Amino acid sequence: MRILFLGDIVGKSGRDAVLRELPYLRRALDTDFVVVNAENAAHGFGLTAQIAAELFDAGADVLTTGNHVWDQRELLTYIDREPRILRPMNFPPGTPGKGAGLFAARGGRQVLVLHAMGRAYMDPLDCPFRAIDKELEAAPLGMVADAILVDIHAEATSEKMAMGHWCDGRASLVVGTHTHVPTADAQVLPKGTGYQTDAGACADYNSVIGFDPTVPLARFVHKIPAGKMEPAQGPATVCGVFVETDDRTGLAKRTEAVRTGGRLSAAIPKVEVAA
Protein backbone atom coordinates (compact mmCIF):
# COMPACT_ATOMS: atom_id res chain seq x y z
CA MET A 1 0.00 0.00 0.00
CA ARG A 2 1.15 3.55 -0.77
CA ILE A 3 0.32 6.20 1.81
CA LEU A 4 0.97 9.94 1.69
CA PHE A 5 1.01 12.15 4.77
CA LEU A 6 1.15 15.95 4.45
CA GLY A 7 2.31 18.14 7.33
CA ASP A 8 0.60 21.11 8.99
CA ILE A 9 -1.17 23.40 6.52
CA VAL A 10 -0.54 27.04 7.49
CA GLY A 11 -2.99 29.66 6.23
CA LYS A 12 -4.24 30.40 2.75
CA SER A 13 -0.86 30.03 1.06
CA GLY A 14 -0.40 26.52 2.39
CA ARG A 15 -4.02 25.65 1.80
CA ASP A 16 -3.98 26.81 -1.81
CA ALA A 17 -0.77 24.86 -2.44
CA VAL A 18 -2.25 21.64 -1.03
CA LEU A 19 -5.48 22.07 -3.00
CA ARG A 20 -3.39 22.53 -6.14
CA GLU A 21 -0.73 19.87 -5.56
CA LEU A 22 -2.60 17.06 -3.82
CA PRO A 23 -4.45 15.77 -6.91
CA TYR A 24 -1.10 15.71 -8.75
CA LEU A 25 0.65 13.92 -5.87
CA ARG A 26 -2.09 11.29 -5.66
CA ARG A 27 -1.55 10.49 -9.34
CA ALA A 28 2.26 10.76 -9.37
CA LEU A 29 2.70 8.58 -6.28
CA ASP A 30 -0.22 6.28 -7.12
CA THR A 31 -1.42 6.63 -3.53
CA ASP A 32 -3.97 4.42 -1.86
CA PHE A 33 -4.56 6.69 1.13
CA VAL A 34 -3.82 10.30 2.13
CA VAL A 35 -3.73 11.94 5.58
CA VAL A 36 -3.28 15.71 6.00
CA ASN A 37 -2.64 17.66 9.21
CA ALA A 38 -4.92 20.69 8.93
CA GLU A 39 -4.86 22.32 12.37
CA ASN A 40 -3.46 25.65 11.08
CA ALA A 41 -5.41 25.75 7.82
CA ALA A 42 -7.88 28.53 8.78
CA HIS A 43 -5.69 31.66 8.64
CA GLY A 44 -3.08 29.85 10.73
CA PHE A 45 -5.38 28.93 13.58
CA GLY A 46 -7.68 25.92 13.51
CA LEU A 47 -9.89 24.35 10.87
CA THR A 48 -13.38 25.11 9.52
CA ALA A 49 -15.99 22.82 8.01
CA GLN A 50 -15.68 24.55 4.64
CA ILE A 51 -11.89 24.14 4.51
CA ALA A 52 -12.22 20.50 5.56
CA ALA A 53 -14.67 19.89 2.72
CA GLU A 54 -12.26 21.49 0.23
CA LEU A 55 -9.42 19.28 1.42
CA PHE A 56 -11.54 16.13 1.19
CA ASP A 57 -12.57 17.12 -2.32
CA ALA A 58 -8.90 17.58 -3.26
CA GLY A 59 -8.05 14.02 -2.20
CA ALA A 60 -7.49 13.90 1.56
CA ASP A 61 -8.99 10.81 3.19
CA VAL A 62 -8.43 11.88 6.81
CA LEU A 63 -7.53 15.17 8.52
CA THR A 64 -5.56 15.30 11.76
CA THR A 65 -5.21 18.39 13.96
CA GLY A 66 -3.35 19.17 17.20
CA ASN A 67 -3.23 21.81 19.91
CA HIS A 68 -5.03 24.39 17.73
CA VAL A 69 -7.97 22.08 17.01
CA TRP A 70 -10.51 24.28 18.85
CA ASP A 71 -9.31 27.68 17.60
CA GLN A 72 -12.32 27.78 15.27
CA ARG A 73 -15.26 27.22 17.60
CA GLU A 74 -17.46 25.62 14.95
CA LEU A 75 -15.29 22.50 15.06
CA LEU A 76 -16.51 21.77 18.61
CA THR A 77 -19.79 20.54 17.14
CA TYR A 78 -18.78 19.72 13.58
CA ILE A 79 -16.10 17.20 14.59
CA ASP A 80 -18.71 14.79 15.96
CA ARG A 81 -20.52 14.87 12.61
CA GLU A 82 -17.38 14.32 10.53
CA PRO A 83 -15.50 11.15 11.58
CA ARG A 84 -12.72 11.84 9.07
CA ILE A 85 -11.42 14.66 11.29
CA LEU A 86 -9.38 13.49 14.28
CA ARG A 87 -8.27 15.38 17.38
CA PRO A 88 -5.53 14.09 19.73
CA MET A 89 -6.74 10.94 21.48
CA ASN A 90 -5.14 11.83 24.82
CA PHE A 91 -7.37 14.87 25.39
CA PRO A 92 -9.51 14.52 28.56
CA PRO A 93 -12.54 12.21 28.54
CA GLY A 94 -15.65 13.98 27.28
CA THR A 95 -13.80 16.11 24.72
CA PRO A 96 -15.71 16.23 21.41
CA GLY A 97 -14.47 14.06 18.58
CA LYS A 98 -12.14 11.08 18.61
CA GLY A 99 -8.44 10.43 18.13
CA ALA A 100 -8.52 7.16 16.21
CA GLY A 101 -10.40 5.73 13.28
CA LEU A 102 -10.42 2.80 10.87
CA PHE A 103 -10.86 4.04 7.32
CA ALA A 104 -11.27 2.43 3.92
CA ALA A 105 -8.40 2.85 1.45
CA ARG A 106 -8.35 2.17 -2.27
CA GLY A 107 -9.20 -1.42 -3.03
CA GLY A 108 -11.17 -1.89 0.18
CA ARG A 109 -8.15 -2.20 2.45
CA GLN A 110 -8.36 -0.77 5.97
CA VAL A 111 -6.09 1.93 7.43
CA LEU A 112 -6.06 2.72 11.14
CA VAL A 113 -5.12 6.35 11.81
CA LEU A 114 -4.01 7.24 15.36
CA HIS A 115 -3.48 10.84 16.49
CA ALA A 116 -1.87 11.83 19.79
CA MET A 117 -0.25 14.94 21.26
CA GLY A 118 3.03 15.08 23.13
CA ARG A 119 3.45 16.46 26.64
CA ALA A 120 6.98 17.93 26.64
CA TYR A 121 6.71 21.76 26.48
CA MET A 122 2.99 21.45 25.70
CA ASP A 123 -0.29 21.41 27.60
CA PRO A 124 -0.50 18.63 30.20
CA LEU A 125 -2.50 15.72 28.81
CA ASP A 126 -2.88 12.01 29.41
CA CYS A 127 0.10 9.85 28.44
CA PRO A 128 0.33 9.61 24.62
CA PHE A 129 2.35 6.38 24.81
CA ARG A 130 -0.29 4.53 26.82
CA ALA A 131 -3.06 5.97 24.64
CA ILE A 132 -1.37 4.78 21.45
CA ASP A 133 -0.48 1.42 23.01
CA LYS A 134 -4.12 0.77 23.90
CA GLU A 135 -5.21 1.27 20.28
CA LEU A 136 -2.36 -0.82 18.85
CA GLU A 137 -3.24 -3.68 21.19
CA ALA A 138 -6.92 -3.46 20.22
CA ALA A 139 -6.27 -3.42 16.46
CA PRO A 140 -3.03 -5.25 15.63
CA LEU A 141 -1.36 -4.52 12.33
CA GLY A 142 -2.16 -7.18 9.74
CA MET A 143 -5.18 -8.46 11.64
CA VAL A 144 -7.66 -5.59 11.98
CA ALA A 145 -5.81 -3.03 9.88
CA ASP A 146 -3.81 -3.45 6.67
CA ALA A 147 -1.81 -0.34 7.60
CA ILE A 148 -1.49 1.85 10.70
CA LEU A 149 -0.42 5.49 10.67
CA VAL A 150 0.44 7.49 13.81
CA ASP A 151 0.53 11.32 13.83
CA ILE A 152 2.39 12.43 16.98
CA HIS A 153 1.84 16.18 17.38
CA ALA A 154 4.67 17.24 19.66
CA GLU A 155 7.26 19.92 20.36
CA ALA A 156 10.22 17.80 21.45
CA THR A 157 12.08 15.78 18.82
CA SER A 158 13.09 13.34 21.54
CA GLU A 159 9.46 12.60 22.41
CA LYS A 160 8.62 12.01 18.74
CA MET A 161 11.62 9.70 18.33
CA ALA A 162 10.60 7.80 21.45
CA MET A 163 7.13 7.32 19.98
CA GLY A 164 8.66 5.92 16.81
CA HIS A 165 10.55 3.29 18.77
CA TRP A 166 7.51 2.61 20.99
CA CYS A 167 5.50 1.75 17.88
CA ASP A 168 8.30 0.05 15.91
CA GLY A 169 7.07 -3.19 14.43
CA ARG A 170 3.45 -2.37 15.30
CA ALA A 171 2.69 0.53 12.93
CA SER A 172 3.33 1.26 9.27
CA LEU A 173 4.33 4.90 9.80
CA VAL A 174 4.97 7.20 12.74
CA VAL A 175 5.29 10.83 11.71
CA GLY A 176 5.70 13.97 13.78
CA THR A 177 3.87 17.25 13.30
CA HIS A 178 3.65 20.65 15.05
CA THR A 179 7.14 22.15 14.62
CA HIS A 180 6.56 23.04 10.94
CA VAL A 181 10.10 22.26 9.73
CA PRO A 182 10.80 19.06 7.74
CA THR A 183 13.46 16.86 9.31
CA ALA A 184 16.04 14.94 7.29
CA ASP A 185 15.56 11.57 9.01
CA ALA A 186 12.99 9.70 6.93
CA GLN A 187 13.79 6.04 7.53
CA VAL A 188 12.52 2.57 8.26
CA LEU A 189 13.16 1.66 11.89
CA PRO A 190 14.74 -1.72 12.78
CA LYS A 191 11.46 -3.59 13.25
CA GLY A 192 9.85 -2.19 10.11
CA THR A 193 8.00 1.01 11.01
CA GLY A 194 8.45 4.01 8.73
CA TYR A 195 9.42 7.17 10.58
CA GLN A 196 10.14 10.90 10.21
CA THR A 197 10.49 13.24 13.19
CA ASP A 198 8.55 16.07 11.53
CA ALA A 199 6.80 16.11 8.18
CA GLY A 200 7.22 19.89 7.95
CA ALA A 201 4.53 22.39 7.12
CA CYS A 202 2.64 23.12 3.94
CA ALA A 203 3.52 26.79 4.13
CA ASP A 204 5.53 29.73 2.82
CA TYR A 205 9.07 29.07 4.09
CA ASN A 206 10.08 32.75 3.80
CA SER A 207 8.61 32.98 7.28
CA VAL A 208 8.92 31.95 10.91
CA ILE A 209 7.27 28.49 10.95
CA GLY A 210 4.83 29.65 8.28
CA PHE A 211 4.01 33.07 9.77
CA ASP A 212 5.06 36.53 8.68
CA PRO A 213 8.32 37.30 10.56
CA THR A 214 7.24 40.73 11.88
CA VAL A 215 5.40 39.66 15.04
CA PRO A 216 7.70 36.73 15.96
CA LEU A 217 10.76 38.98 15.60
CA ALA A 218 9.24 41.61 17.88
CA ARG A 219 8.49 38.96 20.47
CA PHE A 220 11.94 37.40 20.34
CA VAL A 221 14.03 40.57 20.07
CA HIS A 222 12.11 43.05 22.21
CA LYS A 223 10.10 40.68 24.46
CA ILE A 224 6.94 42.76 24.01
CA PRO A 225 3.42 41.88 22.85
CA ALA A 226 3.23 42.55 19.15
CA GLY A 227 -0.24 41.51 18.06
CA LYS A 228 -1.53 38.35 16.45
CA MET A 229 0.73 36.40 14.14
CA GLU A 230 -0.35 36.38 10.48
CA PRO A 231 0.40 33.57 8.03
CA ALA A 232 3.05 34.37 5.42
CA GLN A 233 1.50 34.83 1.99
CA GLY A 234 4.29 33.85 -0.43
CA PRO A 235 4.40 30.65 -2.49
CA ALA A 236 4.14 27.61 -0.24
CA THR A 237 6.09 24.36 -0.24
CA VAL A 238 3.95 21.27 0.25
CA CYS A 239 5.85 19.00 2.65
CA GLY A 240 5.09 15.47 3.71
CA VAL A 241 6.12 11.84 3.94
CA PHE A 242 5.50 8.90 1.60
CA VAL A 243 5.50 5.33 2.84
CA GLU A 244 5.13 2.13 0.84
CA THR A 245 4.11 -0.89 2.87
CA ASP A 246 4.45 -4.63 2.45
CA ASP A 247 0.99 -5.98 1.64
CA ARG A 248 1.69 -9.10 3.67
CA THR A 249 2.88 -7.52 6.93
CA GLY A 250 1.71 -3.90 6.72
CA LEU A 251 5.20 -2.74 7.67
CA ALA A 252 7.15 -0.16 5.70
CA LYS A 253 9.32 -1.13 2.74
CA ARG A 254 10.48 2.46 2.28
CA THR A 255 9.86 5.93 3.71
CA GLU A 256 10.75 9.10 1.81
CA ALA A 257 10.24 12.82 2.25
CA VAL A 258 7.93 14.70 -0.13
CA ARG A 259 8.42 18.37 -1.07
CA THR A 260 6.99 20.32 -3.97
CA GLY A 261 6.57 24.01 -4.84
CA GLY A 262 7.75 27.13 -3.08
CA ARG A 263 11.30 27.75 -1.83
CA LEU A 264 12.48 24.33 -0.67
CA SER A 265 14.20 21.83 -2.94
CA ALA A 266 11.82 19.38 -4.58
CA ALA A 267 11.65 15.76 -3.44
CA ILE A 268 9.18 13.47 -5.20
CA PRO A 269 9.66 9.73 -4.64
CA LYS A 270 9.82 7.61 -7.77
CA VAL A 271 7.15 4.95 -8.09
CA GLU A 272 5.94 2.63 -10.79
CA VAL A 273 2.43 3.64 -11.77
CA ALA A 274 0.22 0.93 -13.23
CA ALA A 275 -0.95 1.67 -16.77
Helices (H), the chain: 11-28, 49-58, 75-78, 128-138, 157-167, 214-222
Cβ neighbors of 143 (< 8 A, separation 6 or more) are: none
How many residues in total does the chain contain?
275
Query: Which residues are catalytic, by number?
Result: 68
Strands across the sheet with 110-117, in order? 100-104, 110-117, 147-153, 173-177, 194-196, 187-188
Give the residue among 82, 83, 81, 79 at the shortest CA–CA distance from 95. Answer: 79
